[in-house]
Chain A
Amino acid sequence: GAVVSQHPSWVICKSGTSVKIECRSLDFQATTMFWYRQFPKQSLMLMATSNEGSKATYEQGVEKDKFLINHASLTLSTLTVTSAHPEDSSFYICSARDSGFQGEQYFGPGTRLTVT
């Protein structure tokens, strides 16, 4: 089946620093990728939709200047959490839509971010 990877799988950073999370589709091309955030004991919440070569579309309430998304190629999207604070500590998950096979989506394994 299609594989989506995320890097890093976990990261700890100091408050005020920026962290970049990568999402890659390993064996298919993805013109669209999605970024989700999940707090402990809560469901996944969609943050933004990332389209290759264009600006991301953010869900209501998500700060686009804080969560920078770049989708520069058909296999890579990045999420940068700028000036991270402890409240940004969360589990970040991406999914990628297969541009070819029926347009189905596949989820990555997630990245655990802890801001100290």
Chain B
Amino acid sequence: DAKTTQPPSMDCAEGRAANLPCNHSTISGNEYVYWYRQIHSQGPQYIIHGLKNNETNEMASLIITEDRKSSTLILPHATLRDTAVYYCIVRVANTGNQFYFGTGTSLTVIP
């Protein structure tokens, strides 16, 4: 699986959009971009995933660049409960392969 690079930490004001970047310059054509988050002392929570088109669900939006070498997770209106470590992972989907987690981005939402 391709390696990802994320900033170690970010702050965001409550109610504002949180934009979390991820670089995955060695991504392969059949690898998806997954985003998970982990709130302190809990298991990872699935957020969203995509291949090449932008994706949106009730939690977030995922913007993938045309060359697929980077992506951005957008939390449109951050709340205090969004404070967590966010992991960007690239992986071939539906293969049952394990996830290899990087160091992630620690997002702190500030009141």
Contact = CB atoms under 8 A, between A and B. Distances in A.
Interface string B33-47: 000101001111110
A88 to B, nearest CB: 18
A77 interface: no
Interface of B is mostly: loop
A109 B43 contact: yes
Given A43-B87, A103-B95, A104-B94, A93 B100 contact: no
A105 B100 CA distance: 13
Most chain B CB neighbours (cut-off 10 Å) among A4, A105, A109: A105
Given A93-B43, A110-B43, A112-B41, A102 B101 contact: no
A67 interface: no
B41 A91 contact: yes
A72 to B, nearest CB: 19
A107 B43 contact: yes
Contacts of A36: 101
Contacts of A43: 87, 101-104
B14 to A, nearest CB: 24
Contacts of A45: 101
Contact of B44 (A6, A97, A102, A107): A107
A38 B38 CA distance: 12
8 contacts: A44-B99, A91-B41, A95-B44, A95-B99, A103-B95, A104-B93, A109-B42, A110-B41
Which 3 A-B pairs give the minimum distances between C-beta atoms?
A107-B43, A44-B101, A103-B94
Interface of B: 36, 38, 41-46, 87, 93-96, 98-104
